[in-house]
Structures are given as C-alpha cells and as structure tokens.
Amino acid sequence: MAYDETVARRVRRGLAKSSEITEKKMFGGIVFMVHGHMCCGVLGDKLIVRVGPAGYDAALSQPHARKMDFTGKPLKGFVYVEPKGYSSDKDLKVWISRGIQYVLSLPAK
C-alpha cells in the first residue's frame, strides 16, 4: 500500500522543529524516525503513531484512533488515526507530540 504524500508533507512540517529526523519506507508506507526510533508515519491516508505501552489505552480512547493491525495482529503501542482524527493542524500536532514524547523517553540509538 502506498502513502498519501500530502499527509506525509504535513507530518514533515509538524516534525520540522524536532532534531535528528529521518524517513524510512516501512509497512508499505513511510515512517519518521526521531533519534533512531519510529515516531509516526503514514500508510495510505492513515496516520501511524507510536504511543508506547503506557499511552496505548489513552490513545485508543481518542476519536478516530484504532489499533494498528495491518498484519491481522495488533501492534501494541502503535495506533492508526483515521483522517478525521488529524484533519486540523492542531489535531495533527497533538498526535505527532504523542509520538515524539514516547520516543524521547527511549534511549537514543
């Protein structure tokens, strides 16, 4: 599955102030790495956010968020966010911040 380049551009802008950002094709889409750890990404028109085990239930309680289950088995600590959940720049920034907050709690690679 390809990824929506418009969404990817929005994510890039949202990550612009973060340091050590790299991009990698993964899961059939694109992911954004912060300090060597996957933070968020785009698969089709869905946003992927790595929220970690502690933030998982809280993230899933948000509108338009669901378990990331592209293989048929949910990836604990990762969520998909449907387009309605990140349609505003403010909402997208909140999701990106969740991903950044989690990966910055991990040791740098």
Per-residue pLDDT band at 45 (split at 50, 70, 90): very high
Question: At residue 62, does pLDDT exceed 90?
Answer: yes
Mean pLDDT, the chain, as a whole number?
94
Please compute the mean of the pLDDT values over residues 6-18 and round it to a whole number: 92
Q: For 5-27, give the DSSP string.
A: HHHHHHHHHHHTTSSSEEEEEET
Q: Give the structural domain span for 20.
A: 5-104
Structural domain tally of the chain?
1
Residue 56 within a domain: yes
For residue 69, how far is the Cα from the chain centroid? Answer: 14
Please compute the mean of the pLDDT values over residues 80-109 and round it to a whole number: 95
User: What's 26's domain CATH number?
Assistant: 3.90.1150.30
Residue 20 within a domain: yes
Residue 51 within a domain: yes
Amino acid at 16: A
Q: Is 100 left (phi over 0), alpha (psi -120 to 50) or beta?
A: alpha
CA distance 51 to 42: 15
**Higher pLDDT residue, 26 or 70?**
26
Residue 30 within a domain: yes
Question: At residue 15, does pLDDT exceed 80?
Answer: yes
Residue 109 within a domain: no
Task: Give residue for tokens 């060597």.
Answer: 36
Q: What was the pLDDT predicted at 23?
A: 95
Distances (CA, A) of 58 to 5, 30, 79, 91, 100: 28, 24, 11, 15, 16
